[in-house]
Amino acid sequence: EVQLVESGGGLVKPGGSLRLSCAASGFTFSSYSMTWVRQAPGKGLEWLSSITSRNSDSSYADSIRGRFTISRDNIQSSLSLQMNSLRAEDTAIYYCARENDAGNYYFDYWGRGILVSVSS
Amino acid sequence: SSELTQDPAVSVALGQTVRISCQGDRLRMYYASWYQQKPGQAPLLVIYGQNRRPSGIPDRFSGSDSGNTASLTITGAQAEDEADYYCSSRDSSGDLYVFGPGTKVTVL
């Protein structure tokens, strides 16, 4: 059974940093690209960042580029998101998701999400 | 960056059919994927590619594509289908993703 479990969320002050992790199991982690998506309170889904399986190439949404960094550890089957210079508008539930990018592009498994609150 | 657009909300009588649309230029290049999200839950993939359903998704969910519009159809809507539905596609650059704003489906 595919499982994705996020951790590392919490309350942080504006300008602070936080590192999210996503522990993956039930599939060959090294064979899949992975993604972070967030959802601000009462808002829609926002794609944030993806990292490929093959060479760990990464891509970022404009809203987080230069502040957030995605990474992966194929040995530990884990995905991370280092979040720096956090702003109030970064408050959201953060989801990790498994990505399929071989022709069709979609996210077939999602974690339950982790809450990040940015407030003074 | 370019966008995907969706109707904010639609309603459907129990057992009837509802179609949700998603429009955007990038849909001429890439298939949309569709996600169902119920309150307090993570999104769930319901349609991807050319009208493909993941295992466990009822066959009352189907997808179609025409030009710059992708559609999700629920044929014989059930009470448990009441949820927010989001479309997603690759960005025109091919490197990024974008989600539509979501459609709230109410089953009457």
Q: In terms of CA atoms, which chain B residue is nearest residue A98?
A: B45
Judge whether residue A100 has pLDDT over 80.
yes
Task: Kindly report the nearest CA distance between residue A91 and chain B, in angstroms.
Answer: 16
Quick one: DSSP state of residue A29?
Answer: G
- Greater confidence (B94 vs B83) lies with B83
pLDDT digits (tens, 9 = 90+) for A15-66: 999 999 999 999 999 999 999 999 999 999 999 999 998 778 999 999 999 9
Q: How many CB atoms lie within 10 A of CB A41?
A: 9
Cα distance between residue A98 and residue A119, in whole Å: 30
Q: In terms of CA atoms, which chain A residue is nearest residue B84?
A: A44
Q: What is the pLDDT of residue B94?
A: 79
Judge whether residue B1 has pLDDT over 50.
no
Burial tier of B49 (Cβ tally within 10 Å: 0-12, 13-18, 19+): middle
Give me the total of CB pairs closer than 8 Å, taking one residue from chain A and one from chain B: 67
Judge whether residue B2 has pLDDT over 60.
no
**Residues of chain A neighbouring B88 (CB-CB closer than 8 A):** 45, 47, 105-107
Assess contact for A95 and A6: CB atoms under 8 A: yes
**Residues of chain A neighbouring B35 (CB-CB closer than 8 A):** 45, 107
Q: What is the pLDDT of residue B53?
A: 97
Say whether B99 and A110 touch across the interface (CB within 8 A).
no
Q: How much is the average pLDDT of B8-33?
A: 95
Q: What is the pLDDT of residue A95?
A: 98
Of A44, A61, A104, the CB nearest to B101: A44
Q: What is the pLDDT of residue B91?
A: 85
